[in-house]
Amino acid sequence: MKKLLPTSTAGSLPKPAWLAQPETLWSPWKLQDQELIEGKQDALRISLQEQLQAGIDIVSDGEQTRQHFVTTFIEHLDGVDFEKRETVRIRDRYDASVPTVVGAVARQKPVFVEDARFLRAQTSQPIKWALPGPMTMIDTLFDAHYKSREKLAWEFAKILNQEARELEAAGVDIIQFDEPAFNVFFDEVNDWGIATLERAIEGLKCETAVHICYGYGIKANTDWKKTLGSEWRQYEEAFPKLQKSNIDLISLECHNSQVPMDLLELIRGKKVMVGAIDVATDIIETPEQVASTLRKALQFVDADKLYPCTNCGMAPLSRSVARGKLNALSAGAEIIRKELVNQPS
Ligand SMILES: [Zn+2]
């Protein structure tokens, strides 16, 4: 029988201090050349072991081989000049110096396929691989070539599809696209955001997911959240169209957030990765707190479609806090599994 409530994480996990500066986004590598390649593989092995030890069911690479969830993918593409930088406003929230699109974008060689093969060889558990979504990619760049957000998004969707097909062939069970931008640009999401995402998953037989969140626990995001009021209804904008899309799973931020749980009714029928771990605090949830969030979600998500997860990636947290949160996630899911089994049906 398939395990009820399979647990997973939204994406990144902290890196060891010998590989990269801890608790930092865009942290520079501490190793070079062959040492860096081996260091990344060792970090991936450790990250995997920590997930397995915590009882996480759907495991990932913890994004140990990438510096950043968007930038690292783009670095591998033609048409983007990383020396030529412009300051842009990311997700309408904070200014960042980003690379410039100077010509046609293209993927000459696989980006993460070797890493995925390496992860596949280390475990027989189901594996999930995260890629940036087209809209979040264009929002992290200055475009001096296409001069159209939509046109560039379609180009990236094509490239993502090439990568996704090879990840699937490498044995990845779930390919996830990170689209935090879906919580910001509502008109674009409905005009072409979801359409480009569906282009990115075209022809895939493995499961596909989209992760939509309120971001890492960095200051720009926590400040933004303070402006959102007592009810965060952003998901309401994209959900109706996502419900009709071909995406299998939707990964969401739920725990400690002001997202009204009844919004999940709008995606009834989809599998939902319910964020039951807050990544914006060092306080480790109790298993009962995790269970309580999952119980609320169960009012709107069928039990066989509920996947307990974290709100977002945990790269900026300390390793011990992240470990504690993984354990809490597992223990919280187990509480609900027992309740479901004992329930008279
Ligand atoms: Zn996220």
Q: Does domain 33-339 have CATH number 3.90.1150.10?
A: no
pLDDT in tens, 233-262: 999 999 999 999 999 999 999 998 899 999
Instruction: Provide the whole-model pTM.
Output: 0.96
Q: Where are the chain's structural domains?
A: 33-339
Please state, as a whole number, how many other Cβ atoms lie within 10 Å of the Cβ of residue 9: 32
Gap from CA of 117 to ligand 1 centroid (Å): 24
Let me know: does 171 contact 127? Beta carbons within 8 Å: yes
Gap from CA of 252 to ligand 1 centroid (Å): 8
What is the structure's pLDDT at 345? 59
- Tokens representing 132? 């940036």
Gap from CA of 341 to ligand 1 centroid (Å): 31
Chain centroid to Cα 79, Å, comes to 25
What is the structure's pLDDT at 90? 86
Region of residue 33 (phi > 0: left; psi between -120 and 50: alpha; otherwise: beta): left
What is the structure's pLDDT at 1? 56
Gap from CA of 217 to ligand 1 centroid (Å): 9
Gap from CA of 53 to ligand 1 centroid (Å): 23
Let me know: does 324 contact 287? Beta carbons within 8 Å: no
Q: In which residue ranges of the chain is pLDDT below 50?
A: none
What is the structure's pLDDT at 344? 66
What is the structure's pLDDT at 54? 98
Gap from CA of 218 to ligand 1 centroid (Å): 11
| Helix or strand (DSSP H, E) at 322 | helix 319-342
DSSP characters for 92-113?
TTEEEEEEEEEEEEE-SS-SSH
> Tokens 């030890």 map to which residue?
53
What is the structure's pLDDT at 215? 85
Gap from CA of 335 to ligand 1 centroid (Å): 25
Gap from CA of 231 to ligand 1 centroid (Å): 19
